[in-house]
Amino acid sequence: MKRKFNVLLSLVTAMLMLLVGCSDSASNTKKETKPAKDIVTEAGTFPIVKKKETLTVLTHSNTGVKDFKTNEFTKWYEEKTGVHIKWEVLPEEGAMEKLNLMLASGEYPDVIMDMGLKPAQLRVYGEKGVFLKLNDLIEKYGVQTKKMFNEMPLVEDAVKTPDGHIYALPQVNECFHCTTSQKMWIYKPWLDKLGLDVPTTTEEFYNVMTAFKTQDPNGNGKADEIPLSGMKSYWHEEIAGFLMNPFIYSDKYIEDGKIVVPWDKPEWRDGLKYLNKMYKAGLIYSGSFTQDPDQFKKLGENPDIPILGAAASSVPSFFVDVSDKGRAKDYIAVPPLKGPNGQQITLYEPSPVTRPAEFIITNKAKHPDVAFRWADAMYDQEITINSVFGMGQFMDAKDGEVGLDGKPAKWTLKEQDPNNVNNNISWNQTGPSLRTNEFRAGQAVPEGDQEQLLWKATEQHVPYISKTIQPVPRLFFSEEDSNKLATLEQSIDNYIDEMTASFITGKTKLNDKSWKEYIKNLEGAGIKDYLQIYQNAYNEKYKK
């Protein structure tokens, strides 16, 4: 489940905790902040203040925002709310390190927005009083936040600590295709040419890949076909992902209240044997364990003639051009495969919270009520639309236009001028926003659009969401455990990635001796402590 990404975030967390622990200035800034009377207007009304107020907001640069100060949405929202923003924009590169130093020194602004802080960091700084609890503000002023929590309980669960405190407002994007993002895509013209059906089992998949390799489906008389490729995972592009699920759920999960990992189980070994068999038969591209998106796409968009039969990828855009000129429309999704023991499941990631710590009010804020109301209003649909897509870009759909879900569309966006990509009209997903599944489904899209392909593919995965396996929710680790986890995750993830590739390629023979050595080294890397830390955090929040 995005293990590489989690490792980087955990390392950042560890460094941040150390800075907090070493800095008296950060921990001593704790103070009581009381909303000033008669500053804000009645909850849910605009403007949100009785006279113009100013907030200082820290964020990082966004390639889709030319200038936050002169941005069209910024100007519109200031007029609507009566709140002027004094921006502190950090360059994206090195932004987290600079934020760490600011927090450690005690010099930080009223609001921290879109800086990628983890739940563990929220908890530590919240308990130290650096980040304010939002519970009372939500109760008093949170018209949109309470509505969102009532309609989407998973959102509230994701941002609430085990003690019931909320230290940040999230960004919420109920992305249907993101819930089952471990997908496999197959080149339909080759299936049609060879008279093959879309495979439904691991055995059928092996046979189809063999046909792609041996029967010259691109018709050039050369053995240049690459049956299957993945890449070094950016989301879910790893070979041992979609193809591991027929043997065992491919990431950590909860079963009967216990945190479980698959990497040390006999079924994981069975999956590795299957993948090794495919590799030895020349069905898996050797670069699948090292290549990046540019290299991956060169396979999918090979000039003149197609050479890639199937691709493990969360989205087609990683390996093919999704424009009208590309090959994306020729790749179709393979539903979850049934394994040799009958297992047929999909990786499931249900949380609609894309960024749990999108908006934080610090103890520097003179008027926390103003800051909160400014953020709460962003969950309003009109304000989300203008913030995410840009001023004047939203239009009602025309008769006959179809939405992502295949039903009549409700809305569409103006066509962008290709000569004016950054017209500075939106915040391009910076800040709190709320896009529900229903809202996203209503967008008009042309036939063959990537989002439409993803929607249809996900519909094929939904029937195979396990009824007994529960995905691990967002957890709030203690400061001590968070620091330990940063080191453990790096060690464990690196070892699993290394050995998965080594077993699949045959660099390490998958026999009893090597498997015992692998388990021993996994234990030496701290897998038991890793599991205990996750179990402690889960128990603290859900087993009181």
In angstroms, the CA 169 to CA 361 distance is 9
Structure letter (DSSP) for residue 328: G
Pair 307, 219: CB distance under 8 Å: no
pLDDT in tens, 125-159: 999 999 999 999 999 999 999 999 999 999 999 99
Joined together, the tokens standing for residue 415 give: 């066509």
Joined together, the tokens standing for residue 376 give: 């709460």
Mean pLDDT value across residues 343-363? 96
In angstroms, the CA 112 to CA 87 distance is 10
Q: Using the predicted structure, report yes or no on whether residue 10 has a pLDDT greater than 70.
A: no
Pair 80, 46: CB distance under 8 Å: yes
Q: Using the predicted structure, report yes or no on whether residue 211 has a pLDDT greater than 70.
A: yes
Q: What is the dihedral of CA 61, 94, 378, 443, to 10 degrees?
A: 70
In angstroms, the CA 434 to CA 473 distance is 20
In angstroms, the CA 160 to CA 86 distance is 29
In angstroms, the CA 287 to CA 429 distance is 34
Pair 458, 334: CB distance under 8 Å: no
> Quick one: pLDDT band at residue 323, thresholds 50, 70, 90?
confident
Looking at residue 36, what is its pLDDT?
45
Quick one: angle between helices 3-22 and 119-127, nearest 10? Answer: 20
User: Which of helix, strand or coil describes residue 6?
Assistant: helix
- Among 466, 535, 530, 539, smallest CA distance to 6 is for 530
Joined together, the tokens standing for residue 499 give: 């050995």
Looking at residue 544, what is its pLDDT?
63
Mean pLDDT value across residues 272-291? 97
In angstroms, the CA 433 to CA 438 distance is 15
Looking at residue 418, what is its pLDDT?
58
pLDDT in tens, 398-440: 999 999 988 999 999 988 665 556 789 999 999 999 999 999 9
Burial (0-12, 13-18, 19+ Cβ within 10 Å), 42:
exposed
Q: Using the predicted structure, report yes or no on whether residue 472 has a pLDDT greater than 80.
A: yes
Q: Which residues contact 416 (CB under 8 A, 6 or more apart)?
A: none
CB atoms within 10 A of CB 529: 16
The two beta strands, 53-60 and 111-113, are parallel
pLDDT in tens, 483-535: 899 899 999 999 999 999 999 999 999 999 999 999 999 999 999 999 999 99
Q: What type of residue is 85?
A: I
Structure letter (DSSP) for residue 544: -
Q: Which of 165-174, 233-242, 447-456, 508-517 has the lowest mean pLDDT?
A: 447-456
Joined together, the tokens standing for residue 206 give: 């092996």
The secondary structure element, H or E, covering residue 229 is strand 226-229
Looking at residue 137, what is its pLDDT?
98
In angstroms, the CA 157 to CA 180 distance is 20
Task: Find the DSSP H helices in 106-246.
Answer: 119-127, 135-141, 143-151, 153-159, 188-194, 202-214, 239-242
Pair 198, 332: CB distance under 8 Å: yes
Q: What type of residue is 278?
A: M
Burial (0-12, 13-18, 19+ Cβ within 10 Å), 467:
exposed
Q: Which residues pair with 255 in a beta bridge?
A: 258
In angstroms, the CA 187 to CA 33 distance is 60
> Quick one: pLDDT band at residue 324, thresholds 50, 70, 90?
confident
The pLDDT > 90 percentage for the chain reads: 85
In angstroms, the CA 504 to CA 508 distance is 8
pLDDT in tens, 168-200: 999 999 999 999 999 999 999 999 999 999 999
Q: Using the predicted structure, report yes or no on whether residue 37 has a pLDDT greater than 80.
A: no
Highest mean pLDDT range out of 227-231, 232-236, 476-480? Answer: 227-231
In angstroms, the CA 457 to CA 84 distance is 44
In angstroms, the CA 369 to CA 138 distance is 10
Looking at residue 478, what is its pLDDT?
86
> Quick one: pLDDT band at residue 120, thresholds 50, 70, 90?
confident
- Mapped to the 3 state alphabet, what secondary structure does 506-524 carry? CCCCCCHHHHHHHHHHHHH
Between 5 and 455, the higher pLDDT residue:
455
Pair 311, 229: CB distance under 8 Å: yes
Q: Which residues contact 315 (CB under 8 A, 6 or more apart)?
A: 177, 181, 183, 235, 450, 454
Looking at residue 310, what is its pLDDT?
98
Q: Which residues pair with 228 in a beta bridge?
A: 284, 310
> Strand locations in 416-468, DSSP E?
434-435
| CATH 3.40.190.10 matches 180-334 | yes
Evaluated on CA atoms 171, 177, 179, 182, the torsion sign reads: negative
Tell the CATH superfamily of the 37-177+353-388 domain: Periplasmic binding protein-like II (3.40.190.10)
The full DSSP string for 112-149 is: EES----HHHHHHHHHTTSBPP-HHHHHHH-HHHHHHH
Chain-centroid distance of CA 257 in Å reads: 24
The secondary structure element, H or E, covering residue 451 is helix 450-461
In angstroms, the CA 136 to CA 72 distance is 32
- Mapped to the 3 state alphabet, what secondary structure does 9-65 carry? HHHHHHHHHHHHHHCHHHHCCCCCCCCCCCCECCCCCCCCECCCEEEEEEEECCCCC
> Quick one: pLDDT band at residue 26, thresholds 50, 70, 90?
very low
Looking at residue 7, what is its pLDDT?
45
